[in-house]
Amino acid sequence: MAEKPIFFNTKMIQAILDGRKIMTRRTVKNIPEGTHRVEQIGESLFEAHWGIHGNSMFLDGATEIKCPYQPGDILWVRETWASYCDECESNQGEGYKDATCAYGDCNRYAYKADDDGCPGGKWRPSIHMPKEAARIFLRVKTVRVERLQDITEEQAVKEGAKAYGPNNCSGTSARIAFAEIWDRTTRDNSYEWRKNPWVWVIEFEREEVEE
């Protein structure tokens, strides 16, 4: 078992806290071009089978790929946060920037600052969050590999996506909502929904920790 950081945006943090998100998808990096199937050959080890076909050329092979997470791992969640300061009257609250906090001056604190300087209650990006400030811990239950568009409606709901529109009418399913969320949060357009990349599918559960 290992402890590793993982990033979620504010809306997905809220979905985790609400118990609506119990699954996440992350792109498989450096998978061979032309991969047509992926098989699991170990607890966190997979084999990508690929083939390249040309006019007079045929290449076929298998490449091992290792998932960054495996069942039993504890993931501590990095999120937008702010340090607490005794001298900042405005810097009070329950700790973190939840989706219910609509304004940038809605200051929360994560833990008391160690330094002598006053942080002023400013939001800090998740990448700078130390493990000591984390409030959410997740235990990995299962890991598998699939194409992004293989996601089902039920799985999209487990991803925290919600159907939208009048009476959740046709064309506004949770699966479509997930596709829209994916494209909004994916920085590299080579991994966007329409290109159907290979993804790690990671199912998790909240791990209770003492304050």
Q: Are residues 107 and 9 in the same domain?
A: no
- pLDDT tens per residue across span 12-51: 999 999 999 999 999 999 899 889 999 999 888 999 999 8
The answer to whether 38 and 109 are in contact (CB under 8 A) is no
Q: Are residues 55 and 147 in the same domain?
A: yes
Please identify, among 134, 152, 174, the residue that sits at the C-terminal boundary of a domain: 134
Q: Are residues 86 and 124 in the same domain?
A: yes
Q: Are residues 22 and 84 in the same domain?
A: no
Q: Are residues 62 and 107 in the same domain?
A: no
Task: Output the average pLDDT for the chain.
Answer: 81
Q: Are residues 52 and 124 in the same domain?
A: no
Query: What is the number of domains present in the chain?
Result: 2
Q: Which residues contact 110 (CB under 8 A, 6 or more apart)?
A: 81, 82, 83, 84, 95, 96, 129, 133, 135
In whole angstroms, what is the distance from residue 70 CA to residue 73 CA? 6
- pLDDT tens per residue across span 159-208: 999 988 665 555 579 999 999 999 999 888 889 999 999 999 999 999 97
CATH of the domain at 186: 2.30.130.30
**Confidence band for 97, pLDDT divided at 50, 70 and 90:** low
- The whole domain housing 33 covers 3-77+136-206
**Confidence band for 129, pLDDT divided at 50, 70 and 90:** confident
- pLDDT tens per residue across span 146-156: 999 999 999 99
Residue 17 lies in a domain: yes
In whole angstroms, what is the distance from residue 12 CA to residue 74 CA? 18
Q: How many CB atoms lie within 10 A of CB 90?
A: 11
